[in-house]
Amino acid sequence: MTGIEGAITVCLNGASVSSPISVHSSRPLQACKLMEGQTPEQALSRVPLLFALCGKAQELAARLAMDAAGTVISSDDSNRRAMLSEALHEYLWRFLIDLPKLLQQTPSLKLFSACRQILGELSEQPQKEQLDQLLALIGDQVLGTDLTQWQGMTASDLERWLDSNDGELPPMLKIMDGLLGRSGYGDEAVELMQDKQIIQIADSLALEWRNGTILERQEWCQRPLETGAFSYHQNHRLLQGMKATGVNPVVIRMVARILDLIELLDLMRGNDVGEDRFGSLQLAEAEGLGWVKTARGLLMHHVMMEDGKVRQYRIAAPTEWNFHPTGALYRSLHNWTKIEPQQLPLWVDLQVLSLDPCVQYKVDINHA
């Protein structure tokens, strides 16, 4: 049972010539219609009921969209801090719990619990002492290095870091790097979403949404895009160096998450609420869009108001970008038949984890 939230199903069929790879989502895209016919306050109250994951980001996107549409709903620094804390929580969960489990290593439950407690306190009322504790935990115990060193890290620096045994994360990524090999970042990869495209993408999707369409496939100029930490930091010299030296995209995505985690910590530490992490746009009278860069990728909420109530509500979530039927995951699986059968389940799991769907997933493999 996958529940009301749906699931991602990945099928690898060696017996099929026409469809050896398929990626299917059963996410209930119609759920956004539950916001319609409601007052702005009523619609906003439904957000935490509809979205168990990234709830703070969903709430912020909803607030931004409703504010842009001219309603009484707005956002403040507390909403933005909560979004930043939530994204940090998601990254640490993947690094300290999910990744070790996949690699048959021991999850760092105690360390994660300590970080989680501090993040909860920071989301309510940031204090320098608490933030210093979090920075120390992540630097000393998660990464095993001074956080400031990451700002100027190169691909050769990363190799030395991977060989270190300081911190929980370097050994995990070293294992991943060994398992996946240096297959390189090939031409088959999906284009990375760029910040400068956000407004254009919003306008393009809004044209479809205004007609009442609920998009089953999110595309830009009739092609899928990859969104997430890799797209946010695609121009960082470390990631560029990793691509040039043939590092597997899964490892690159994980390192990009480290860069994004450090950026989030900088935003929390500098009392900066992250103006480039979110935004809004008034598309027309009583029509607004809000967007947030979440840990999983770009999230958009679109609202059209009429007579004080929500006439139409649409959401573009990162899972619909990254798990598009011919999107980032699909392209990542192109050479699955070259993987040793006993390694294939883990190989697929790592591909999925690197793109991080917001729902459960299952994998069906037929080697033929």
- Cα–Cα distance between 265 and 88 in angstroms, integer? 8
Q: Which two tokens stand for residue 301?
A: 């909420």
Over residues 311-320, the mean pLDDT reads 94
Total length of the chain: 368
78 versus 126: the higher-pLDDT residue is: 78
Q: In the prediction, which pLDDT does 181 show? A: 82
Bridge partners, 250 (sequence order) = none
pLDDT bin (cut points 50, 70, 90) of residue 272 is low
Q: pLDDT tens for residues 104-118?
A: 999 999 999 999 999
Q: In the prediction, which pLDDT does 43 show? A: 95
Alpha helices in 270-364 (DSSP H): 318-322, 328-332, 344-355
Q: In the prediction, which pLDDT does 17 show? A: 67
Going from the C-alpha of 312 to that of each of 37, 51, 148, 260, 326, the distances in angstroms are 8, 18, 45, 33, 28
Q: pLDDT tens for residues 116-138?
A: 999 988 877 778 889 999 999 99
Q: In the prediction, which pLDDT does 3 show? A: 42
Q: In the prediction, which pLDDT does 28 show? A: 82
As a whole-number percent, the residues of the chain with pLDDT over 90 amount to: 65
pLDDT bin (cut points 50, 70, 90) of residue 168 is very high
Residue 2 has pLDDT above 60, yes or no: no
pLDDT bin (cut points 50, 70, 90) of residue 285 is very high
Q: How many other C-beta atoms are found inside a 10 Å radius of the C-beta of residue 154?
A: 13
Q: In the prediction, which pLDDT does 127 show? A: 80
337 versus 123: the higher-pLDDT residue is: 337
Q: In the prediction, which pLDDT does 217 show? A: 83
Q: Which two tokens stand for residue 282?
A: 């008034």
Bridge partners, 360 (sequence order) = 7
Q: In the prediction, which pLDDT does 361 show? A: 92
pLDDT, the chain, mean: 90
**Residue 104 is which amino acid?**
Q
Residue 267: CA atoms inside 13 Å, Cβ hemisphere, count? 22
Q: pLDDT tens for residues 10-54?
A: 999 887 767 799 999 888 878 888 999 999 999 999 998 888 788
Over residues 261-280, the mean pLDDT reads 81
Over residues 93-100, the mean pLDDT reads 96
Q: pLDDT tens for residues 215-241?
A: 878 888 889 999 999 999 999 999 999
- Cα–Cα distance between 39 and 280 in angstroms, integer? 20
Q: In the prediction, which pLDDT does 184 show? A: 63
Q: How many other C-beta atoms are found inside a 10 Å radius of the C-beta of residue 340?
A: 7
Q: The whole model's pTM is what?
A: 0.94
Residue 271 has pLDDT above 60, yes or no: no
| Domains and their CATH numbers in the chain | 7-366 (1.10.645.10)
